[in-house]
């Protein structure tokens, strides 16, 4: 919140009034924990002493209370004081929900990403410079009013979008008629629907270690177990799949064969065939997460598992987030019709379908060729950015780390040679306005790794960030 620095009202009073207002409105209800003093100081851009003065004053008014070791909590609201009623303690409800909270580091990342001073070196999102803002605006302006429906859509999503997706998937060798495609609000929703629609508590998900999936709680929140499998520069190793299928209950495999998140690994065709053949033999279903497929930088990736699958073993997940717009929230699942119908039914129960406007815009992007044209532009830009980050690594990290050069996607999986506590490194980098994604978010034992992204920061920012990171690593290593 911007404070009025020229105002005659002292800063601590402005902060005090801001917090008091939140409490009075019930936004920070009785029992709610206030952000830490450090977080408040960084939010308001003031010294900690200013925050302490504001908090002391709120405590004197009986609105908040500091608890030893438990932070500061709201103890009452003026409304409930006036009404002489005890307010609901939402805290117990907040803790009771079935969904696990995000890891604290992820929560911090999610907030810090919106701090304009911060250089985002870990982010899995395209830089605003790489988004087709002008062309997209033109396209939306020209949308045909005849196609725009402001009502609910069919359970599987707008037909014209599924038809456009069906044609698009065909160019990647996937034969999927519109009836076996479900439109979803991003690939993350695809994973959510699969976890709630196809798997029961106690089932097991086989996945590479590290994996993107460790950083979100879609499956764990519903009581699923993760079985981490070894992976190398060619991605997931298929050797243990058969034994795992036999050993565990309700098993499904999750894999990102093209430009893995976080390692950037690309699975070669031979391993894809091996994987598919073991899974077919063992009747082990596969979730193929292919959201980075179109972002190849050196050569197109080998065929997707789905395009080689003739027995309906693969649920294929795609998205527009990494190529066109993450905010559009449009993704898709391709699979056997019975599965798609089940997932569509659950989607109807949860949100009655993705936004009609977003679906129409997405279909137009595919129909007019904007999507394909923009994918080529993004590939070119990412190629330059990847090369730049690799050069920076040679300049600043040649003696401090090792890495493989990814042939697509957003990420370089940097292994640091000195052993540094990942939390300390993360905090120190953030104090220097550099946001990184430590490897532990993707595998608890990957303590030496960082997922660096060349998709978001500008070339100049990348240089500043890598310079600062080098200094921090050297300092913490000594």
Site for ligand PLP in 391-430 (CB under 6 A): none
Closest CA to 313 of 363, 372, 252: 252
Tell me whether residue 410 is exposed, middle or buried, using C-beta atoms within 10 angstroms of its C-beta: 0 to 12, 13 to 18, 19 or more. buried
Q: Is 382 in the site for ligand PLP (CB under 6 A)?
A: no
Q: Is 443 in the site for ligand PLP (CB under 6 A)?
A: no
Q: How far is the CB of 404 from ligand PLP (least distance, A)?
A: 18
H or E, element range at 252: strand 252-255
Nearer to ligand PLP, 326 or 400 (CB): 326
Q: Which stretch binds ligand PLP (CB under 6 A): 62-70, 78-86, 186-194, 332-340?
A: 186-194
Closest CA to 216 of 198, 191, 182, 183: 191
Q: Which residues face 272 on adjacent strands?
A: none
- Contact residue for ligand PLP among 12, 34, 124, 334 (CB under 6 A): 124
What pairing do the DSSP bridges indicate for beta strands 437-438 and 235-236?
unpaired
Quickly count: other Cβ atoms within 10 Å of residue 107's Cβ: 11
Q: How far is the CB of 290 from ligand PLP (least distance, A)?
A: 9
Q: Which stretch binds ligand PLP (CB under 6 A): 42-50, 140-148, 169-177, 184-192?
A: 184-192
DSSP 442: T
User: Mask of contacts with ligand PLP, 277-316, x by CB under 6 A?
Assistant: ------------x-x-------------------------
Q: How far is the CB of 70 from ligand PLP (least distance, A)?
A: 34
Nearer to ligand PLP, 271 or 451 (CB): 451
Q: Which stretch binds ligand PLP (CB under 6 A): 106-114, 169-177, 182-190, 353-361?
A: 182-190
Strand, helix or coil for residue 253? strand
Q: Is 325 in the site for ligand PLP (CB under 6 A)?
A: no
- Token pair in block for residue 37: 């003093």
Tell the residue number behind the tokens 């997932």, with chain if given: 343
- Contact residue for ligand PLP among 28, 212, 219, 332 (CB under 6 A): 212
- Contact residue for ligand PLP among 55, 63, 256, 452 (CB under 6 A): 256
Q: Which stretch binds ligand PLP (CB under 6 A): 110-118, 144-152, 319-327, 340-348?
A: 319-327
Closest residue by beta carbon to ligand PLP: 186
How far apart (Å, rounded) are the C-alpha atoms in residues 424 and 121?
A: 17
Q: Which stretch binds ligand PLP (CB under 6 A): 37-45, 238-246, 318-326, 387-395?
A: 318-326
- Are 333 and 317 spatial neighbours (Cβ–Cβ below 8 Å)? yes
Quickly count: other Cβ atoms within 10 Å of residue 336's Cβ: 15
- Contact residue for ligand PLP among 257, 331, 335, 353 (CB under 6 A): 331
How far apart (Å, rounded) are the C-alpha atoms in residues 37 and 39?
A: 5
- Are 443 and 209 spatial neighbours (Cβ–Cβ below 8 Å)? yes
Quickly count: other Cβ atoms within 10 Å of residue 303's Cβ: 16
Q: How far is the CB of 130 from ligand PLP (least distance, A)?
A: 15
Q: Is 122 in the site for ligand PLP (CB under 6 A)?
A: no
Q: Is 343 in the site for ligand PLP (CB under 6 A)?
A: no
How far apart (Å, rounded) are the C-alpha atoms in residues 153 and 159?
A: 9
How far apart (Å, rounded) are the C-alpha atoms in residues 171 and 152?
A: 29
Note the residues at the interface with ligand PLP (CB under 6 A): 124, 186-188, 212, 256, 261, 289, 291, 319, 321, 326, 331
């Amino acid at each position: 919140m911007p404070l009025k620095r020229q105002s005659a009202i002292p800063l601590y009073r402005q902060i005090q009034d801001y917090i008091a207002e939140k409490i009075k409105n019930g936004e920070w209800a009785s029992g709610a924990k206030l952000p830490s003093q450090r977080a408040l100081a960084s939010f308001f851009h003031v010294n900690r002493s200013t925050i302490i003065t504001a908090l002391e004053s709120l405590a004197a008014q009986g609105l908040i209370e500091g608890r030893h070791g438990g932070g500061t909590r709201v103890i009452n609201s003026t409304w409930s004081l006036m009404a002489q009623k005890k307010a609901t303690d939402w805290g117990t409800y907040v803790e009771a929900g079935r969904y696990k909270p995000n890891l604290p580091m992820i929560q911090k990342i999610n907030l810090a990403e919106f701090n304009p001073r911060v250089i985002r070196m870990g982010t899995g999102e395209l830089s605003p410079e790489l988004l087709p803002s002008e062309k997209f605006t033109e396209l939306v302006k020209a949308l045909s009013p005849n196609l725009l429906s402001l009502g609910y859509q069919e359970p599987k999503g707008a037909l014209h979008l599924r038809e456009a997706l069906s044609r698009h998937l065909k160019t990647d060798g996937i034969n999927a008629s519109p009836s076996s495609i479900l439109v979803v609000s991003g690939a993350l929703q695809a994973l959510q629907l699969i976890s709630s629609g196809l798997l029961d508590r106690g089932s097991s998900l086989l996945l590479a270690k590290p994996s993107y999936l460790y950083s979100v709680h879609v499956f764990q929140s519903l009581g699923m177990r993760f079985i981490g499998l070894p992976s190398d520069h060619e991605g997931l190793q298929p050797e243990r799949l058969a034994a795992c299928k036999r050993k565990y209950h309700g098993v499904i495999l999750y894999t990102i064969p093209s430009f893995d998140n976080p390692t950037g690994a690309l699975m070669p065709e031979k391993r894809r065939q091996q994987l598919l053949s073991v899974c077919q033999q063992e009747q082990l279903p596969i979730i193929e997460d292919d959201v980075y497929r179109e972002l190849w930088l050196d050569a197109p990736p080998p065929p997707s598992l789905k395009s080689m699958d003739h027995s309906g073993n693969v649920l294929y997940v795609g998205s527009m987030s990494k190529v066109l717009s993450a905010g559009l929230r449009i993704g898709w699942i391709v699979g056997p019709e019975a599965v798609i119908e089940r997932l569509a039914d659950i989607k109807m129960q949860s949100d009655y379908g993705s936004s009609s406007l977003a679906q129409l815009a997405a279909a137009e992007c595919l129909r007019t060729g904007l999507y394909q044209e923009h994918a080529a532009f993004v590939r070119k830009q990412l190629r330059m950015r990847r090369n730049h980050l690799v050069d920076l690594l040679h300049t600043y990290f040649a003696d401090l780390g090792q890495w493989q050069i990814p042939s697509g996607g957003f990420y370089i999986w940097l292994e640091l040679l000195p052993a540094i506590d990942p939390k300390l490194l993360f905090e120190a980098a953030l104090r220097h306005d550099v946001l990184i994604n430590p490897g532990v978010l993707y595998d608890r034992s990957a303590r030496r790794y960082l997922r660096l992204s060349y998709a978001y920061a500008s070339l100049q920012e990348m240089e500043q960030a890598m310079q600062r990171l080098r200094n921090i690593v050297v300092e913490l290593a000594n």
